[in-house]
Structure 1
Amino acid sequence: MKKMRVLCAAGLLGLGAVSAAAQILIGQTAAITGAVAANMQETITGAQLAIDHANAQGGIHGEQIEIVRLDDGFDVKRAGENARVLIEEKKVVALFLSRGTPHTQAIIPWLDKYGVALIGPSTGAMVLHKPVQKHVFNVRSTYQREAEKAVTHLHTVGIERIAVVHASDSFGKDGLDGATTGFTKAKKEPVVVVPADRDKPDYAAIVGALTKANPQAVLWIGSGSAVVDGIKALRAAGSAAQVVTLSNNASTGFIKQLGEASRGVIVTQVFPSERATAQPLVKEATVLAQAKGQTELSPATLEGFAAGKVLVEALRRAGPKPTRAKVLAALEGIRGFDLGGGMEISYSPQDHSGIDFADLAIISDGRFKR
């Protein structure tokens, strides 16, 4: 493969496989910087394992995949504007691996206007599943499924007093809806539900409300450093409540940011354990990572790898010189595509949901364990 080059201009970061001979332009707007940057970097690393592997084998029908990445800093308006630039100016044939629920919602009008597919958004928002978004092709499970499973698990192990903290945006409401389903099925109620501003959470008020309710467990629905700082504030207030958060925080970076406060935190997962190397998807990603000198996968890396595999498969099926319409048609035609170990992806005009898998992991000794 020819020597890589990096695109770097005002507001533009090219951090992936970019070749002078590249023919297939794929766009990505994501939080390269900001509150969820650590998680996003790991997800990108996983995606590049699949993309670089395809390029090293001669590309797709002889053409290299070029990822053009724009940093949105986890800002909704920037995400929408980046999508416009990628589609109108960069002429990408598809978008890939966006991050954030309101951020992805800001992208959708541009997808719909120009008939561009978005593959593998790193969000489990139900709004991207039902009703079906014509141009959005999910790979991972929904936040509602995760939040419901978390509440069900806590009740199953005898925890009765559960509080919920949720970001005050579409992502937080989505997770809260899933948690509510879990409470309803268990015929229980949360001891308190506390909204948290997405950008500037008032930790004194949040922790005050939690301390007053005295929960045995807290389901914290938020992103990156907002959750990290919240858990640290909760521990500083003397609370020993079990903390559970969702898979958008399933990264090694999240654990490192938490430090000592990470011990015992439960994080929902949307793929098999990253150390279950008997599982073909995990084994393939591990082999490719080790060839690049990466010693260990994280859940976020595995999510990116799965999304990358779907992107590569869609481009293969689209044929030589893929257009936006050909990529869209190729995705609609995917039935029973095995990511490895029976984890199959199927799409149709009526269903763009991808995989329905949810599990739990607990942080111990600086690692996710199941």
Structure 2
Amino acid sequence: MKKIFTMATVAVLSLSLLAGCGTSGGATGSGAGNGGEIKIGGLFEQTGGAAQYGTAGLNGAQLAIDQQNAKGGVLGKQIKLVTADNKSEPGESTAQATRLVTSEKVVGMLGPMTTKTLKAIIPIVTQNKVPLVTPSGTASDLTVANGKLNQWIFRACFIDDFQGNVGATFATEKLQAKKAAIIIDTNGDYAKGLAKAFEDTFTKAGGQIVAKENYVAGDKAFQPILGRIKAQNPDLIYVPGYYNEVGLIVKQARELGITVPMLGGDGWNGDETTKIAGANNMTNVYYSDHVAMDDPGLVEFAKQYQTKYNIAPTGFSALGYDAATMLIKGIEAAGSTDPDKVRTALESIKDLKGVSGNITVDPATHNPNKSAVMLQFKDGKWAFASRIDSK
């Protein structure tokens, strides 16, 4: 009953948005500066299965906005981050995006963090010309789909293809792996995108995929698929999933006596993977990320974040900060909250200093040109292992 009500609510809100709002966007709405404020929407996964990512991203974005406001804001106005929780669900993401655009009249949007919650709102921000910067939406078709640019979607992160490429390069060049197994969430665009890129790069380098196993998000028992993988004797196991399942896969693999390296993508980021797997099972595990928090260049950011939130930042915190910095820079460079001018300014970003590295936006894809790092769990925490450029 609750599900039916939610879907009906989303449908009504979406129809009213598309029918009543036209394409005027935030430039002429109250978010463009009534009361001396510029409203930016913050649509994040504050609860639900991806809450670890969303909370970190939101905190990073808020820190960047607070620091900008302390400098006087932008265009002579203070920035107000109007937040909404998409509960890690596409339907709720649609409903909250509708509210932010129609009721709050935001002039830009930050978030969501995951592919599925972002894909759900692309029609809304496109129809209403609201520039959006996702901190960590990595699917390649978020910004370019079927050969067509999604004009209003930008990102602060690298894409899945690049991340899978990085994982495979690390596996072949640093770990000297010849045989690999892959475990894929069949319902996840994120997992499938990374897995395909990893396989393509690994096999082109002369490697062999000796096993591919599937699961569905929410699964708890992975012993059967791990048993089949163990029988194939791979040199490593690539698991491009999210922390809830990844932690269990690592734990159960080690309990079965599988000691080979295990690799993943940025879905491993944060403390939850370690909590679920158990620190004693995290030997010989690595994942690709956007930034290494033990980088000396991040000391000041980490200190400021720790002071504000009383918790250490993660890579997603850094990406949230950078996404907000990009949107602020776009508004500032445009000299206006006019959506077309802000979009053009975002496309023109070059060598913008971000926490996760310097950011230059490719206007043809809206993707930033960035390198990636591989992190290793060592001495009870994630630490820098290697920097990898795409091949």
Question: Aligned partners of 2:36, 2:89: CA distance in 1, in Å?
Answer: 29
Deviation at 1:73, TM superposition (A): 2.2
- Cα distance, 1:68–1:213 mapped onto 2, change above 3 Å: farther
Question: Aligned partners of 1:341, 1:107: CA distance in 2, in Å?
Answer: 26
Question: What aligned pairs does 1:264-283 form with structure 2 within 5 A after superposition?
Answer: 264-271=284-291, 273-277=292-296, 279=297, 282-283=298-299
Tell me which of 189, 198, 216 is aligned to 2:208.
189
Question: Aligned partners of 2:251, 2:90: CA distance in 1, in Å?
Answer: 26
Partner of 2:278, secondary structure, is helix
Segments of 4+ moved more than 6 angstroms = none
* Letter paired with 2:124: W
Q: TM-score, normalised by structure 2?
A: 0.80
Consecutive unaligned residues in structure 2, runs of 5 or more: 1-9, 11-33, 385-391
Q: RCO (CA 8 Å, sep 6+): is it higher in 1 or 2? A: 1
Question: Aligned partners of 2:362, 2:349: CA distance in 1, in Å?
Answer: 6
Partner of 1:175: 194
Partner of 2:6: none
* Letter paired with 1:262: M
Question: What aligned pairs does 1:55-66 form with structure 2 within 5 A after superposition?
Answer: 55-66=69-80
State, as a whole percentage, how many aligned pairs show the same letter. Answer: 23
Partner of 1:74, secondary structure, is coil
Partner of 2:254: 235
Partner of 1:28, secondary structure, is strand
Tell me which of 262, 265, 276 is aligned to 1:246.
265
- Are the counterparts in 2 of residues 164 and 218 from structure 1 also a CA contact under 8 Å? yes
Tell me which of 53, 56, 59 is aligned to 1:42.
56
Partner of 1:122: 136
Say how many residue pairs are matched: 346
Deviations 1:81-138 (A, max 9, x none): 3222222232211111211112211111112211111113412211124443211111
Deviations 1:258-283 (A, max 9, x none): 33233332011223x22222x3xx24
Question: Aligned partners of 1:206, 1:105: CA distance in 2, in Å?
Answer: 30
Deviation at 1:77, TM superposition (A): 2.2
Question: Aligned partners of 2:332, 2:229: CA distance in 1, in Å?
Answer: 51
Question: What aligned pairs does 1:1-370 form with structure 2 within 5 A after superposition?
Answer: 23-130=37-144, 131=147, 132-156=149-173, 157-168=175-186, 169-200=188-219, 203-260=222-279, 261-271=281-291, 273-277=292-296, 279=297, 282-289=298-305, 291-292=307-308, 294=310, 296-319=312-335, 322-339=337-354, 343-348=358-363, 350-370=364-384
Partner of 1:343, secondary structure, is strand
Q: RMSD over aligned Cα, in angstroms?
A: 2.6
Deviations 1:191-225 (A, max 9, x none): 11122213446524432432333323111011121
* Letter paired with 2:195: L
* Letter paired with 2:315: P
Deviation at 1:50, TM superposition (A): 1.1
Q: TM-score, normalised by structure 1?
A: 0.84
Q: Which moved more, 1:121-130 or 1:142-151?
A: 121-130
Deviations 1:157-205 (A, max 9, x none): 2222211112212212211221122123212221111222134465244
Question: Aligned partners of 2:42, 2:229: CA distance in 1, in Å?
Answer: 38
Deviation at 1:32, TM superposition (A): 1.0
Question: Aligned partners of 1:218, 1:123: CA distance in 2, in Å?
Answer: 24
